[in-house]
Structure 1
């Protein structure tokens, strides 16, 4: 029930002395009866505190009591007037100062009467909510079995609760866009909060807007592959029946997801067969026929994505890649000959950036795993084998990255990064020590920061003055340190070849 309903109950005769903002029409939380001077340790937030004022020995005690109550988020104090015959003015002033609602309980009304009234109203409301919930569930199930779409059902619930509803995935794909898709910064904030929240439903904040996040289906599944219901507003401020309506929509969305997943899983063997034909060098006509059966349009340009979720479950990895693929077309994904996942995606302008952002949204949810993705350039169906090798090459570079999510395109690997990524770790370590070993030992022994100076010197293209300015050193200090590096390495940094050797050794650290 609402606080306004409690205050207006004629049989209780309560008298409102001070009303804090946005409290009167808010659902009543837990009732706590106390006569402790500082009861804050026993409050969790949102409570109605009933007190007989036994704790008050002086006017200063009112400030102490209300500070303790307000500090723990309690919204309302119900104070009995029996002890003093009236509510002390200092208590009213303290409630005004801390914006806590104050209600006077008449002498003839026992606190047990208030508690029993709230409990009885709560039981009646719970029964009504349960009845309404069952009716709504039957209506939603009937609607979806009669062919209504999830978009239509989400719009219906949005109309009932007065908040826009969307269903998205952890990568930011809109399953149900609602009144319109969320922008990228909002999607980033929403998915990050969902992946890192200790408990759900949770609330995400983006700019000045709040969004309530409800897991679709079991909240115990892997959140990387989850759907979530995103509703405008903070659910902690809603009536209970609105929260229940959102949860019922989640249950219906979970059923809809099962139907969609079954169709996608049925296509996986066809995709796997098509990929095996591509990798075995089968005739183009045979490859084209199998790809058509999997839903691929052979006349459109494509890109190939190769992905790996290291130390992660296989079913999670393929679901994640399929989810991202669905952002741009069909989920044409299957394991390749090396057990890496391969996706065939329709090409479009800006596709690599879209893929990078979508995969990147999963980073907050990757605890001990790492996602590496390689993407080929645009290709036609008759050159898919070459594009697949491009994507595998880019994946090897991505695999060498140090971030939780690494997405590399084929046009990014034409640099020293490609060279270093394809060199075995032990070879890189040996090369680094052979070139920079004496410098590293000197720094370790003396703390002279030769490596840091060398790195900045090369970044500044060998400019003494720019290096000195960047490091806040005198030019002569920079000259001395670089000369010392040359002595220790036996290389002349004015020569291009020697600079390349040192540069690659630094990048291999």
Structure 2
């Protein structure tokens, strides 16, 4: 903004116009009108020097002048002239761009002040009684902000074009800091799990970041228009999406579960369109930068794909692969890992390195279409990159691929599977609890009705030759992961927790048929006579066969309960005093 932008004109002046400032003295001629105004300061102290910065427009009500309120403009005093001279001299020394003198104190601007400004070469403006100083200050601040937005938008555009050509991979962090410093904003780039990728320091608390990511995913799931506004820990946030691009060109709907977000610590409700658009441009730039980062994973993805093909074909008995092929494929994955030399089992800087396999599946039921394979892979990568899972340098110690072979177990019902091979130390293994903590907060809020995320984690193994066992272990664990939960993770220990945990490993058709044939006599009887034999059976088993506790829970006399149990036994030909029959009924109720 320049000084001429503050002067009134007959064409633009209006009652609400904050610019009716009259030019009283312009010692340097027309060129003084091009002086840049960098800010404003309102001061009525006789010595304003320490409050004025170079480029400031100084606004003063002239309370320091000391003349009588009713005196004429020319009826000055030696004291008043001395004060004016000293005041203007200090402003010039401090680098002030101009003085705006208020007329409310005397009804005019004293002549000795006009002469002092002329003597020191300081442009002088008269601020009318009808113009509050706050209007001038807000007008200058708004103009400066618009100028910065315009300049920063051009910078974003230039950087975007450069990044597109050069595929630069780290520029978004520096540009984010520059933009937000200029706009006086704090912001954070977050992953869908709440991992902080870049932004203000100190970083957000983990729970706050996870809550913001969850709010963002929920808003995207509902199709709300961005930016999304929310409040966390008493602070207003505006959430801008950073699209992952996953699924573009695919017939399946794009999954927002892999999108990043920019969380700005401000309410964008009152922002103008230019300011909102600048943040959207920044988000698009981060998308380009993210694409550059993703290219770094391409080689590891290909190596993981090759290793999965070898492990899968060996497990299916399709030919005989040399163990050296698996070792070679595994060595490609360890090549970039910090401290790793050769295949797993070697000793790195932090101790022996071992393998773990992870299986992830995004299950869909209903009218959502099949999930895009690449989005499931990207989702598993985002989960494993969270510090709670693999710690620092996770990207160098993991490789993720999609499992799309017919016999690979990649599909189960309506789900698509992704598989990861990760390098860990024995004392820092990946656990199902860590995966569940990372995924259970934000990702659960982004799932649509009928969608479910299941993860299986294997035990660590020593070498590539054991990966087929680790992969089978991870897949089995994934299949038993709490089917009633939208997001769940299991490990090998869960397979031995209870015999009921093995039920998901039985084919779905077999489970349904077993449950139907055993319980059909009871369901038919309940439907025909309006009885409650199936609920009674369930309660009886849940109370460990205790007649008293089951009768109390059902509000039944023990004799009535005994009659119902006898009807169940007569209809099914089973005996509820036998352990085997109790287990069959429990399994049928669980699978029904």
Q: Do the structures match in fold with TM over 0.5?
A: yes
Counterpart position of 1:362: 443
Q: Which deviates more, 381-390 or 344-353?
A: 344-353
Tell me, yes or no, if the aligned pair for 2:543 and 2:550 is still in contact at 8 Å: yes
Q: Give the equivalent residue in structure 2 for 1:131.
A: 150
1:210 Cα offset (Å): 3.2
Unaligned runs of 5+ in 2: 1-5, 7-11, 18-138, 249-253, 315-320, 345-351, 364-369, 411-416
2:294 maps to which of 261, 266, 269 = 261
Residue 453 of structure 1 and its aligned partner are, at CA, apart by 2.2
Q: Deviations over 1:119-176 (max 9, x none)?
A: x99x989974663343542686699889965434333334334443111122333222
Quote how far apart the aligned CAs of 1:214 are. Answer: 0.2
Aligned residues: 396
Residue 401 (str. 1) matches residue 423 (str. 2): no
RMSD: 3.8
Q: Matches of 1:240 and 1:309 in 2, distance apart? A: 38
Q: Distance in 2 between matches of 1:322 and 1:478?
A: 54
What's the counterpart of residue 375 of structure 1? 457
Q: Which residue of 2 aligns with 1:305?
A: 358
User: Contact conserved, 2:433 with 2:489, CA < 8 A, in 1?
Assistant: no
Determine if the alignment matches structure 1 residue 332 to structure 2 residue 399.
yes
Match of 2:37 in 1: none
Partner SS for 2:201 = coil
| Contact 1:167/1:174 (8 A) holds in 2 | yes
Whether 1:436 aligns to 2:513 is no
2:62 maps to which residue? none
With over 3 angstroms needed to count, the CA separation of the structure-2 counterparts of 1:180 and 1:449, relative to structure 1, is farther
**Contact 2:300 2:333 (C-alpha < 8 Å) held by counterparts:** no
Equivalent residues of 1:436, 1:505 under 8 A apart: yes
Q: 1:314 aligns with which of 373, 391, 408?
A: 373
Q: For 2:296 and 2:537, how far apart are their aligned partners in 1?
A: 58
Match for residue 100 of structure 1? Answer: none
- The SS at the match of 2:353 is coil
Q: Cα 1:440–1:222, aligned 2, differ >3 Å: closer, same or farther?
A: closer
| Counterpart residue number, 2:120 | none
The equivalences for 1:189-208 within 5 A come to 189-197=211-219, 198-208=224-234
1:187 and 1:302, CA in 2 relative to 1: closer, same or farther beyond 3 A? farther
Distance 1:218 1:407, change over 3 A: closer
Q: Cα distance 1:285–1:136, how it changes in 2: closer, same or farther (>3 A)? A: closer
- Residue 456, structure 1, aligned to residue 557, structure 2: no
Equivalence for 2:590: 507
Structure 1 residues 138 and 504, CA gap change in structure 2 (3 angstroms):
closer
1:177 shift after superposition:
5.7
Q: Which residue is equivalent to 2:200?
A: 178
Secondary structure of the structure 2 residue equivalent to 1:451: helix
The residue number in structure 1 matching 2:413 is none
* 1:187-236 CA-partner distances (Å, limit 9, x unpaired): 44323322232111102334534322101258996312211111223222
Which of 240, 250, 255 is the aligned partner of 1:222? Answer: 255
Cα distance in 2, alignment partners of residues 371 and 355 from structure 1: 11
SS of match in other structure, 1:491: coil
Change (3 A) 1:206 1:127: closer
1:343 matched residue in structure 2: 420
Residue deviations 1:415-456 (CA, integer Å, cap 9, x gap): 334432122333223322332222111222233222222212
Q: What is the TM-score normalised by the length of structure 2?
A: 0.58
The 2-side partners of 1:356 and 1:231 are apart by: 27
User: How far does the alpha carbon of each residue in 1:474-503 deviate from its partner, in whole angstroms, 9 at most, with x for none?
Assistant: 444433333332332232222222211211
Q: Is the 8 A contact 2:303 2:329 kept in 1?
A: no
Q: Which moved more, 1:474-483 or 1:252-261?
A: 474-483
| Separation (CA, whole Å) in 2 of partners of 1:441 and 1:506 | 15
What is the rounded CA distance, in whole Å, between the counterparts of 1:410 and 1:161 in structure 2?
Answer: 51
Q: Kindly report which structure 2 residues correspond to 1:459-498, keeping only aligned pairs within 5 A, or say none.
A: 459-498=542-581
2:20: which partner in 1?
none
Describe the shift of the 1:274–1:500 C-alpha distance in structure 2 as closer, same or farther (beyond 3 A).
Answer: closer
Q: Which runs of 5 or more structure 1 residues have no equivalent in the other structure?
A: 15-119
TM-score of the two chains, using structure 1 as the length reference: 0.67
